[in-house]
Structure 1
């Protein structure tokens, strides 16, 4: 049976900090639900009711498009090591792009990495833990360097072109506002 809380406890924060992967769930009022795995050093728990995470350039940009429509977000962690638990945080999130006030400060909390395209600032209104008894054990073998190598090879101009050609809309055609102007699908 799951337990619900108004905020993260110290125990739950330590659980989050020990995980190497988390999942992001968003959906616009219409269209597909998106669930994305996130790794690397991309998440900070600011307080029991606030989490900030950085999104690097990738093949899709669903989260930004969904949050432009409705600002709800769920983050989920699974305990793949000793402690079997699934933890979810539910809330509302705001999107910061590199052009936005506050982006540079929050981006500075993370290791330097090319292609940082959004920071998401989640205000938590519900935390839920559940048993995770069916989650398998998995060993952590390390981080992949593929995304960083790809972004380094693209450079700033290549990343900007990628945003222009590949990140302006969701798979349902919603604008992501990556370029800061009215975008077309």
Structure 2
């Protein structure tokens, strides 16, 4: 049965922080605009301040829907689901605030020494309701690892910004991350305003370095088991029906033969002749 709380129950905190994936839902005020749901990953990006406040590091994406929606109305829901262990779903309902790269609030939570490539902001959520439900319909999956693609792609973008000082003291390149933010994250698909600070910030895009100094590695994936198509199941009930139909036909033939022989014998008796019938 589903349960609701006014804050995050202590029993959920450890489980939430162990999850590798969560979803963020937001929507504009207009009934004709688009509701957005975004999956979020990368271990260590979600943080619980207390039972009524959480925040997560937001990375560069193809659009800026969550940013625009939070700036317009602040409504947000964060969903977690168990893919292993006991089934469980948890939703955090709250009001969110978006702080972009280059703002003091962003720097209070993410320092230059801890920032990862592609980080464009933080979402701080004041949680006012928490809902849990069974999650019995959620499939079971095995976690393999984080995809490094986003980090490595952002690493390349940020290197362009770091290598280009053509705009004076502002590290910005036409091929860099700030130019990408300006081109893709400043408005939502419905035309709502999105990022308005990060792409204009003179602050350098400093980040932690990959483990080997070059790029983040791909996770080791287990061998894939190739499944061959199975034989179609035998419909035993249909086969039994076909056998029964065959038996019924044979019985009808025997009945007709018996009637013919009996009629032949009777006709011989009434005609005064002796008829020997051997069956």
Q: Give the TM-score normalised by the residue count of structure 1.
A: 0.93
* 1:71 is aligned to 2:71: no
Q: 1:138 is matched with which residue? A: 141
Identify the match of residue 35 of structure 2 among 29, 33, 36: 33
Q: 1:5 is matched with which residue? A: 5
**Aligned partners of 2:195 and 2:122: how far apart in 1?**
13
**Aligned partners of 1:26 and 1:9: how far apart in 2?**
23
**Aligned partners of 1:87 and 1:110: how far apart in 2?**
32
Cα pair 1:168 1:179 within 8 Å, conserved = no
**Aligned partners of 1:10 and 1:54: how far apart in 2?**
22
* Structure of greater relative contact order (alpha carbons < 8 Å, 6+ residues apart): 1
**Aligned partners of 2:126 and 2:66: how far apart in 1?**
16
Structure that is richer in helix per residue: 2
* 1:46 is aligned to 2:49: yes
**Aligned partners of 1:10 and 1:109: how far apart in 2?**
31
> Following TM superposition, by how much is the alpha carbon of 1:44 offset from its aligned partner in structure 2, in angstroms?
0.3
* 1:84 is aligned to 2:102: no
**Aligned partners of 1:119 and 1:109: how far apart in 2?**
14
Note closer, same or farther for the CA distance 1:144–1:84 as it changes in structure 2 (3 Å cut): same
For 1:134-156, what per-residue CA distance to the aligned partner results, in whole angstroms no more than 9, with x for missing partners? Answer: 00001101000000000001113
Deviates more, 1:107-116 or 1:13-22: 107-116
Q: 2:17 is matched with which residue? A: 17
Identify the match of residue 168 of structure 1 among 182, 186, 195: 186
Note closer, same or farther for the CA distance 1:109–1:60 as it changes in structure 2 (3 Å cut): same
Identify the match of residue 120 of structure 2 among 117, 120, 133: 117
State which structure, 1 or 2, has the greater radius of gyration over its C-alpha atoms: 2
Note closer, same or farther for the CA distance 1:63–1:114 as it changes in structure 2 (3 Å cut): same
For 1:8-52, what per-residue CA distance to the aligned partner results, in whole angstroms no more than 9, with x for missing partners? Answer: 122111110111000000001011110000000211011000101
* 1:147 is aligned to 2:150: yes
Q: Note the residue ranges of structure 1 that are not aligned, 5 or more in a row.
A: none
Count of residues paired in the alignment: 181
- 2:90 is paired with a residue whose SS is strand
* 1:103 is aligned to 2:106: yes
**Aligned partners of 2:45 and 2:90: how far apart in 1?**
17
Q: Note the residue ranges of structure 2 that are not aligned, 5 or more in a row.
A: 162-171, 200-279
Cα pair 1:170 1:176 within 8 Å, conserved = yes
**Structure 1 runs of 4+ with >4 Å offset:** none
Cα pair 2:101 2:198 within 8 Å, conserved = no
**Aligned partners of 1:132 and 1:12: how far apart in 2?**
14
**Aligned partners of 1:143 and 1:82: how far apart in 2?**
20
